[in-house]
Structure 1
Amino acid sequence: MNNTQKYDFIAIGSGVAGSTAVIECARHGLKTAIVDNKPYGGTCPLRGSDPKKILLGAAELYDWFSRMKNTGIINGDIRIDWQNLIQYKCSYTNNIPMKVEQSLKKMSIDSLSGNAEFANENTLKIGDKFYTADNILVASGSVPTKLPFNGAEMMSSSDDFLSLKTLPDKIIFVGGGFISMEFAQAAARAGAKSIIVHSGERILLGFDKELVGLLNKAAQESGIDIIVNNRVSKIETDGDTLIAHLSNSEETIRADMIVHGAGRMANVYNMNLETGNVAYDSGGIKVNEYMQNTSNSSVYAAGDVTDSEGPYLATVAAMEGRIAAENIIHGNKRKPQYENIPSVVFTIPTLASVGMQEEDAAKAGIKYNSRFQETSDWFTSYRVGEKYSGYKIITDENNTKILGAHLLGPSSEDVINLFTFAINRGITPEEMKNMVYTYPTASSDIVYML
């Protein structure tokens, strides 16, 4: 390993976890580098949340127009031009790698390209060159879960869907989580027949079941078919058509595309982790409470690649990346906090959640109050013609503490942040209710929820 280049810190992966960590280390004077085997920027801005929201922005506009037809909007029908929409999405994503690398260069962070493999506990091999560092952060993200049935390789990934230049007529989405629910919304509004096949009893298991029930009704009304308690057991081809066999019936579904939305797993592949003495298993890289690997103290990990308790969210990855960097700089002092992290699925309408569900409170033996109400007749929903909206607020039995908040409807993705702040700061229901909000806004509805 002659001519090995030496750094204080190297991050593997240029997503939010890796970039947050390397920037923090550079700010504290460390000689730093970051490496990626894909274009710089990571999943969120290039292949995840940001481009997804651009597609959903068009779907939301289409849906809003459709809801408002009986309110004085009479300027004919509208449609989504998928090809132009994808071009618009690309006009945002195409410039990100260059911008990211330019930002890194301004901070004297070296950006390396290629697949990073461990050559020993402190050295990475990238191509035919070697790079050693006092500390290495693995932030390589996640990949689609491998599904154990014949023909699974014929499924398309979420990356493939986001790059479609022509929208297929009929799409099956496998799994009832974030990816399937959000992409099906965009595809349905753009004219594709969308079918979700989910193995469980209900979709979006991490969200309140009554609000998910309302969301189901909205999805089905928009033309999305949702099949639960069933799973794809085999995929075959018939010319250009894909045939999905279902496990709990003799039924088959023919489609032009089948999208993998049945979960993701830690990307621990192709890094030669064993040679680096980096402990990992199928759940991800093993880390302690300081985001440090349990077998190689020079290695830290952050984001989806770890076996931490944190959910697969960009905000969590950024938090873990920052904490890992601070512990590298100052010594192991900071620990991540995973309680009361808000989560949003950008369906139409939007579903948001923070804190406990009723099942969580019951399992913990907490006596609680739960208030659920549909709100389609409230001004916030009525103004935009939203037929399916509601909330559920969970408090302790004396109504002195907010335990959880669950929202479905317009601006839920923003209002949930107010509940997150209140829960984490110990603001009581009475205090939150007595605040003066701008009116009429979705936030001002909080007064009537508590």
Structure 2
Amino acid sequence: MAYDFDLFVIGGGSGGIAAARRATEYGATVGIAEAGRLGGTCVNRGCVPKKLMVYASRFPESFEAATGYGWSAVDSTLDWSTLIKVVNDEVTRLNGIYQRMLDKAGVQLFRAYARFVDDHTLMVGEQKVTADKILVAVGGQPIKPDIPGIDHAITSDDVFHLPQQPQHLVVLGGGYIGCEFASVFHRLGSQVTQVIRADKILRGFDDELREQVQGDLIQQGVRLLTESKILSITKTEAGVDVCVRTQAGEEHVLADAVNLAATGRRPNLENLGLENTAVKVNQGAIATDAHSCTAADNIFAIGDCTDRINLTPVAIKEGRIFADAYFGGKPGTMNYTNVPSAVFTTPELGTVGLTEAEAIAQYGADDITVYRTRFRPMVYTLPDMPVKTLMKLVVQTSTDKVLGAHMVGDDAAEIIQGVAIAVKMGATKADFDATVAIHPTSAEEFVTLR
């Protein structure tokens, strides 16, 4: 049977675009459907605009540190409207770059939603399209918990379009999204109350790193209500009344009409028509094998709509591996071990490999040695600021292999990105020790730990 396309991609995010472009390099005819802005969550509502706001939030600390070096004190205020404009202007610029990349590759872009009719047929807007292979790369969407009045809460998608800076922001959730925005808005000058169910933020990360970031956020002024639950959200003339059950009892927090629900994300599968195909869904995510293939042998899925690691670079790599395998004759599978990640709070968290607890569970406490250091970076000595950095290596004693590298502090993501190469290659503690340090730097501590 002749199809309109060799490959049709549903979703114009980073993963879908990477797969589409790579497939055209092998001569495939490719179409892609995206009703929204190109680039997906990362470019439009996630990594990029968030990181720009992180940068903005760190200038006050730089102003403060400068006085320790002889610079006069700076009396500076934030123009919220300027920040929001320049952030969104950059997002628009990146959208144009994605459009030009698709045009150059010869990918046909459909500005519409796509819905399955059957395993090979899609309704893209009002147009019926057929394809030999179909790749689902629709990403995820924020979850709003079932709380009375939750419609008065915004999500992380809405943050970058607030017309005014919130004076008091209530953040619901202790995951990386909630913690990043709690940190950003506090440092931009908003009062922040963060409500979490657990006793610590950032579940799943190394416990020492969690404690370090949590302690630093509290020290900076974020009000953290642990082991607490939002019972209701009520709009009032004075703002938004958030009723919270805390360890001390019921409490009402008045915010200025803005609450951020940062309680995770789920695959964006609504109205996709998967029921018209052989594709299986497992716990809300598309089920795939190691080759990104679903239960329908011509339909594939990558990125946040699956149940694997939900990170943009992972989706991009999955997309390229898929295209290489099915259009380039280069079989391969994604390796999900030792994937580095970061949390862009201030202080920043960077990590790769096993946490201390995971290493002990896998190899036993007797076969694990942990090397750690806490210190004040040199830049903060002259202004005498109480800023600390934490670094640690988790090592298997019997093999000397570095199983995990973790850091909280300035430039943690940049430093861990380099360290991740060594961990991915199976470097030993002796390999780290044999590496000559660059002095004076914070990063040198990773090769001088004793």
- Please indicate the TM-score interval, normalised by the length of the shorter structure: over 0.9
Deviation of 1:54 (Å) = 0.8
Q: SS where residue 159 of structure 1 aligns?
A: coil
Instruction: Kindly indicate whether the alpha-carbon contact (under 8 Å) linking 1:355 and 1:404 is maintained by their aligned counterparts in 2.
Output: yes
Aligned to 1:177: 175
Counterpart position of 1:274: 275
Q: Distance in 2 between matches of 1:349 and 1:388?
A: 9
What residue in structure 2 maps to residue 379 of structure 1?
Answer: 378
SS, match of residue 372 in structure 1: strand
Contact 1:62 / 1:80 at 8 angstroms: preserved in 2? no
1:378-417 correspondence runs (5 A): 378-379=377-378, 382=381, 385=385, 387-398=387-398, 400-417=400-417
**DSSP-derived class of the 2:388 partner:** coil
Q: Distance in 2 between matches of 1:446 and 1:303?
A: 32
Q: CA separation of 1:214/1:383 partners in 2, compared to 1, >3 Å: closer, same or farther?
A: farther
Q: Give the equivalent residue in structure 1 for 2:427.
A: 427
Asked if the contact 2:63–2:74 (Cα under 8 Å) also holds between the matched residues in 1, the reply is no
Measure, in 1, the Cα distance between the counterparts of 2:427 and 2:5: 45
Q: Alignment partner of 1:318: what SS? A: helix
1:205 corresponds in structure 2 to 203
**Amino acid of the structure 2 residue aligned with 1:54:** L
Deviations 1:380-418 (A, max 9, x none): 664784612111211112472111111011221111123
Moved more, 398-407 or 22-31: 398-407
**1:238-275 deviation line (CA, Å, top 9, x unaligned):** 12511222244311211121111111111111111101
CA, structure 1 residues 122+381, in 2 after alignment: closer, same or farther (shift >3 Å)?
Answer: farther
CA distance in 1, matches of 2:231, 2:130: 46
Instruction: Output the CA distance in 1 between the equivalents of 2:216 and 2:443.
Output: 23
Q: Tell me how far 1:64 sits from its aligned partner.
A: 2.2
Q: 1:253: which partner in 2?
A: 253
Report the AA paired with residue 293 of structure 2. Answer: Q
* Residue identity matched to 2:240: L
| 1:34 partner SS | strand
| Cα pair 2:354 2:403 within 8 Å, conserved | yes
Map 1:38-437 → 2, pairs under 5 A: 38-239=36-237, 241-248=239-246, 249-256=249-256, 257-293=258-294, 295-308=295-308, 310=309, 312-330=310-328, 333-366=331-364, 367-376=367-376, 378-379=377-378, 382=381, 385=385, 387-398=387-398, 400-437=400-437
Question: How does the TM-score come out when normalised to structure 2?
Answer: 0.93
- 8 Å CA contact retained: 1:411, 1:442: no
Letter in 1 for 2:429: P
Query: What amino acid sits opposite 2:420 in the alignment?
Result: T
Give the CA deviation at 1:354. 0.8
Overall identity of the aligned pairs, in %: 28
Q: Provide the aligned C-alpha RMSD in A.
A: 2.0
**What displacement does 1:5 show?**
7.3
Q: What corresponds to 2:16 in structure 1?
A: 18
- Separation of aligned partners in 2, 1:209 and 1:382: 27
Normalized against structure 1, the TM-score is what? 0.93
2:19 & 2:117 partners in 1: Cα distance? 22
Q: Could you list the runs of 5+ residues in structure 2 that have no partner in the other structure?
A: none
Letter in 1 for 2:100: Q
Partners of 1:37 and 1:149 lie apart in 2 by: 30
CA change 1:306–1:240 in 2 (3 A) is farther
| Displaced runs of 4 or more, over 4 A | 383-386
Are residues 332 and 107 of structure 1, via their aligned partners in 2, closer, same or farther at CA, if it must alter by over 3 Å?
closer
Quickly say closer, same or farther: Cα 1:224–1:76, change in 2 above 3 A: same
Letter in 1 for 2:174: G
1:42 alignment partner AA: G
Contact 1:266 1:282 in 2 (8 A): no
1:17 and 1:317 in contact (8 A); partners too: yes
Partners in 1 of 2:279 and 2:151 — Cα distance?
A: 29
